[in-house]
Amino acid sequence: MGRRKPVAGSSRPSTALATFAVAALLAGVNGCTKDSVVASAGLPGTTIDADIRDVTVRFEYIDAFVSAGGFQYRFFFPDSEPCRVILYNPKGARFVWIGPLGRLTQGELRCSPVGVLSLQAWRNRGPRRSREPLPRSQANFKEVWRDDEMVLVRGRFPLAGTVGWAGGLDSIAVLPDIEDCLGFLERGVASMEFRASGNRPLVLIARNRLCPITGFAQPPPGR
Protein backbone atom coordinates (compact mmCIF):
# COMPACT_ATOMS: atom_id res chain seq x y z
CA MET A 1 0.00 0.00 0.00
CA GLY A 2 1.16 3.55 -0.72
CA ARG A 3 1.56 6.21 1.90
CA ARG A 4 -1.58 8.07 2.86
CA LYS A 5 -1.48 11.65 1.65
CA PRO A 6 -1.77 14.30 4.35
CA VAL A 7 -5.03 16.19 4.53
CA ALA A 8 -4.70 19.65 3.10
CA GLY A 9 -3.99 22.27 5.72
CA SER A 10 -3.05 19.73 8.39
CA SER A 11 0.16 19.98 10.43
CA ARG A 12 1.75 18.50 13.51
CA PRO A 13 0.59 20.08 16.78
CA SER A 14 3.04 22.52 18.30
CA THR A 15 5.06 21.62 21.37
CA ALA A 16 2.99 24.07 23.42
CA LEU A 17 -0.30 22.50 22.37
CA ALA A 18 1.09 19.03 23.00
CA THR A 19 2.17 20.10 26.49
CA PHE A 20 -1.28 21.50 27.20
CA ALA A 21 -2.95 18.32 25.92
CA VAL A 22 -0.85 16.14 28.22
CA ALA A 23 -1.59 18.43 31.17
CA ALA A 24 -5.30 18.36 30.36
CA LEU A 25 -5.29 14.56 30.21
CA LEU A 26 -3.56 14.33 33.57
CA ALA A 27 -5.99 16.84 35.01
CA GLY A 28 -8.92 14.68 33.92
CA VAL A 29 -7.38 11.70 35.67
CA ASN A 30 -6.55 13.57 38.85
CA GLY A 31 -9.66 15.75 39.01
CA CYS A 32 -7.76 19.03 38.64
CA THR A 33 -9.35 22.35 37.71
CA LYS A 34 -8.91 24.18 34.43
CA ASP A 35 -6.64 26.74 36.14
CA SER A 36 -4.42 23.98 37.50
CA VAL A 37 -4.10 22.59 33.95
CA VAL A 38 -2.97 26.00 32.73
CA ALA A 39 -0.62 26.45 35.67
CA SER A 40 1.01 23.05 35.25
CA ALA A 41 1.47 23.55 31.51
CA GLY A 42 3.12 26.93 32.14
CA LEU A 43 2.28 28.21 28.66
CA PRO A 44 3.48 31.80 28.10
CA GLY A 45 0.68 34.37 28.18
CA THR A 46 -1.84 32.21 30.03
CA THR A 47 -3.72 33.93 32.86
CA ILE A 48 -4.90 32.46 36.17
CA ASP A 49 -6.96 33.82 39.07
CA ALA A 50 -4.61 34.82 41.89
CA ASP A 51 -5.05 34.79 45.65
CA ILE A 52 -2.61 37.04 47.54
CA ARG A 53 -1.85 36.95 51.26
CA ASP A 54 0.72 37.75 53.96
CA VAL A 55 1.84 41.01 52.36
CA THR A 56 4.82 42.58 54.17
CA VAL A 57 7.34 45.29 53.31
CA ARG A 58 10.95 44.14 53.68
CA PHE A 59 13.93 46.30 52.77
CA GLU A 60 12.89 47.86 49.42
CA TYR A 61 10.59 44.99 48.44
CA ILE A 62 7.02 43.89 49.10
CA ASP A 63 6.99 40.26 50.25
CA ALA A 64 3.81 38.31 49.37
CA PHE A 65 2.47 34.80 48.84
CA VAL A 66 0.65 34.26 45.54
CA SER A 67 -1.58 31.21 44.98
CA ALA A 68 -2.67 30.54 41.39
CA GLY A 69 -4.00 27.38 39.76
CA GLY A 70 -3.18 25.16 42.71
CA PHE A 71 0.39 26.43 42.98
CA GLN A 72 1.78 28.76 45.63
CA TYR A 73 4.84 30.96 45.25
CA ARG A 74 6.41 33.53 47.51
CA PHE A 75 7.69 36.58 45.67
CA PHE A 76 9.45 39.87 46.26
CA PHE A 77 7.77 42.70 44.35
CA PRO A 78 9.05 46.25 43.85
CA ASP A 79 7.63 48.73 46.36
CA SER A 80 5.88 50.69 43.61
CA GLU A 81 2.43 52.27 43.38
CA PRO A 82 0.92 49.65 40.99
CA CYS A 83 2.24 46.81 43.13
CA ARG A 84 0.96 48.37 46.35
CA VAL A 85 -2.52 48.75 44.85
CA ILE A 86 -2.70 45.15 43.61
CA LEU A 87 -1.09 43.50 46.63
CA TYR A 88 -3.02 45.35 49.32
CA ASN A 89 -6.34 45.32 47.43
CA PRO A 90 -6.11 42.06 45.46
CA LYS A 91 -9.75 41.61 44.41
CA GLY A 92 -9.76 40.67 40.72
CA ALA A 93 -6.00 40.07 40.60
CA ARG A 94 -4.74 37.65 37.96
CA PHE A 95 -1.38 35.93 37.49
CA VAL A 96 0.07 35.79 33.97
CA TRP A 97 2.85 33.42 32.89
CA ILE A 98 5.04 35.96 31.16
CA GLY A 99 8.69 36.92 31.58
CA PRO A 100 11.05 35.14 33.97
CA LEU A 101 8.80 35.23 37.06
CA GLY A 102 5.30 35.91 35.74
CA ARG A 103 3.23 39.02 36.39
CA LEU A 104 0.25 40.17 38.44
CA THR A 105 -2.47 42.16 36.70
CA GLN A 106 -5.58 43.96 37.89
CA GLY A 107 -7.44 45.85 35.19
CA GLU A 108 -4.83 48.10 33.58
CA LEU A 109 -2.36 47.70 36.46
CA ARG A 110 0.75 45.55 36.07
CA CYS A 111 3.16 44.31 38.76
CA SER A 112 6.08 41.97 38.00
CA PRO A 113 8.04 40.14 40.73
CA VAL A 114 11.72 40.98 41.16
CA GLY A 115 12.50 38.03 43.41
CA VAL A 116 11.37 34.52 44.28
CA LEU A 117 11.47 32.91 47.73
CA SER A 118 10.08 29.50 46.71
CA LEU A 119 13.26 27.92 45.42
CA GLN A 120 12.14 24.32 45.86
CA ALA A 121 8.97 24.90 43.81
CA TRP A 122 10.89 26.99 41.28
CA ARG A 123 13.54 24.31 40.86
CA ASN A 124 10.86 21.65 40.40
CA ARG A 125 9.27 23.60 37.51
CA GLY A 126 12.31 22.86 35.36
CA PRO A 127 13.57 19.59 33.87
CA ARG A 128 14.79 16.90 36.26
CA ARG A 129 18.52 16.93 36.89
CA SER A 130 20.90 14.15 37.79
CA ARG A 131 21.42 13.85 41.55
CA GLU A 132 25.13 13.17 41.23
CA PRO A 133 27.56 14.77 41.42
CA LEU A 134 26.43 17.75 43.53
CA PRO A 135 27.57 20.92 41.72
CA ARG A 136 29.64 23.30 43.87
CA SER A 137 31.05 26.77 43.39
CA GLN A 138 32.26 29.65 45.54
CA ALA A 139 29.82 32.39 46.59
CA ASN A 140 30.94 35.85 47.76
CA PHE A 141 28.55 38.25 49.49
CA LYS A 142 27.94 40.89 52.14
CA GLU A 143 24.95 41.62 54.35
CA VAL A 144 22.70 44.52 53.31
CA TRP A 145 19.60 44.13 55.54
CA ARG A 146 17.97 41.89 58.14
CA ASP A 147 14.91 41.49 60.33
CA ASP A 148 13.85 38.77 62.78
CA GLU A 149 13.05 36.31 59.95
CA MET A 150 15.59 36.75 57.18
CA VAL A 151 18.91 38.24 56.19
CA LEU A 152 19.50 39.75 52.76
CA VAL A 153 23.00 39.50 51.33
CA ARG A 154 24.27 40.82 48.04
CA GLY A 155 26.95 39.21 45.97
CA ARG A 156 27.98 36.58 43.47
CA PHE A 157 26.12 33.25 43.47
CA PRO A 158 27.32 31.22 40.46
CA LEU A 159 24.86 28.33 40.88
CA ALA A 160 21.72 30.49 40.99
CA GLY A 161 20.87 29.38 37.45
CA THR A 162 20.36 25.78 38.61
CA VAL A 163 17.03 26.82 40.16
CA GLY A 164 16.01 29.00 37.22
CA TRP A 165 17.31 32.33 38.55
CA ALA A 166 19.26 34.49 36.10
CA GLY A 167 21.71 37.12 37.34
CA GLY A 168 23.79 35.12 39.77
CA LEU A 169 26.80 37.37 39.19
CA ASP A 170 25.07 40.17 41.15
CA SER A 171 21.98 39.24 43.14
CA ILE A 172 20.36 39.59 46.51
CA ALA A 173 20.17 36.20 48.25
CA VAL A 174 17.76 35.50 51.10
CA LEU A 175 19.08 33.58 54.12
CA PRO A 176 17.15 32.60 57.25
CA ASP A 177 18.11 34.46 60.42
CA ILE A 178 19.33 31.33 62.21
CA GLU A 179 22.47 30.43 64.14
CA ASP A 180 23.78 28.10 61.42
CA CYS A 181 24.08 31.07 59.05
CA LEU A 182 25.95 33.44 61.41
CA GLY A 183 29.44 32.20 60.55
CA PHE A 184 28.76 32.54 56.83
CA LEU A 185 27.61 36.13 57.29
CA GLU A 186 30.78 37.02 59.19
CA ARG A 187 33.10 35.51 56.55
CA GLY A 188 31.19 36.63 53.45
CA VAL A 189 32.49 33.67 51.45
CA ALA A 190 31.42 30.02 51.28
CA SER A 191 31.02 27.04 49.01
CA MET A 192 27.64 26.95 47.35
CA GLU A 193 26.01 23.60 46.60
CA PHE A 194 23.02 22.66 44.41
CA ARG A 195 20.76 19.72 45.26
CA ALA A 196 18.40 18.26 42.67
CA SER A 197 15.99 16.88 45.29
CA GLY A 198 14.86 17.71 48.81
CA ASN A 199 13.63 20.96 50.32
CA ARG A 200 16.98 22.78 50.21
CA PRO A 201 17.89 23.30 46.55
CA LEU A 202 20.82 25.60 47.33
CA VAL A 203 22.94 25.75 50.46
CA LEU A 204 26.07 27.48 51.68
CA ILE A 205 28.38 24.87 53.16
CA ALA A 206 31.56 24.99 55.26
CA ARG A 207 33.00 22.76 57.98
CA ASN A 208 29.92 20.49 57.90
CA ARG A 209 27.60 23.42 58.58
CA LEU A 210 24.77 24.29 56.20
CA CYS A 211 22.96 27.56 55.63
CA PRO A 212 20.05 27.28 53.17
CA ILE A 213 19.51 29.94 50.53
CA THR A 214 15.75 30.53 50.54
CA GLY A 215 15.41 33.06 47.73
CA PHE A 216 16.92 35.44 45.20
CA ALA A 217 16.02 38.98 44.16
CA GLN A 218 17.25 41.66 41.81
CA PRO A 219 19.20 44.39 43.63
CA PRO A 220 17.07 47.54 44.14
CA PRO A 221 17.61 50.19 41.44
CA GLY A 222 20.29 52.73 42.30
CA ARG A 223 22.02 50.57 44.92
User: What is the amino acid identity at position 94?
Assistant: R
Q: Is 133's pLDDT higher than 80?
A: no
Beta strand residue intervals within 162-208, DSSP E? 171-176, 189-194, 202-206
Q: Can you tell me the mean pLDDT for 115-136?
A: 81
Residue-wise pLDDT tens digits, 18-43: 433 434 433 444 445 555 555 555 56
Residue 163 three-state SS: helix
Q: Which of 201, 222, 217 is nearest to 112 (CA)?
A: 217
Q: Can you tell me the mean pLDDT for 45-66?
A: 95
In the DSSP assignment, the letter for residue 197 is S
Q: What residue ranges do the domains of the chain occupy?
A: 44-116, 125-217
Residue-wise pLDDT tens digits, 139-172: 999 999 999 999 999 999 999 999 999 989 999 9
Per the omega criterion (within 30 degrees of 0), is the bond before 82 cis?
Answer: no
Cα distances (angstroms) measured from residue 38 to each of 53, 94, 122, 132, 161: 22, 13, 16, 32, 25
Q: Is 7's pLDDT higher than 60?
A: no
Position 37 scores a pLDDT of: 56
Position 29 scores a pLDDT of: 43
- What is the phi/psi pair of residue 180, to 5°? -60, -20
Position 70 scores a pLDDT of: 86
Using only the alpha carbons of the chain, give its radius of gyration: 20
Q: Torsion over CA of 46, 54, 123 and 79, rounded to 10 degrees?
A: 70
Position 212 scores a pLDDT of: 97
Q: Is 71's pLDDT higher than 90?
A: no
Residue-wise pLDDT tens digits, 167-199: 899 999 999 999 999 999 999 999 999 999 999
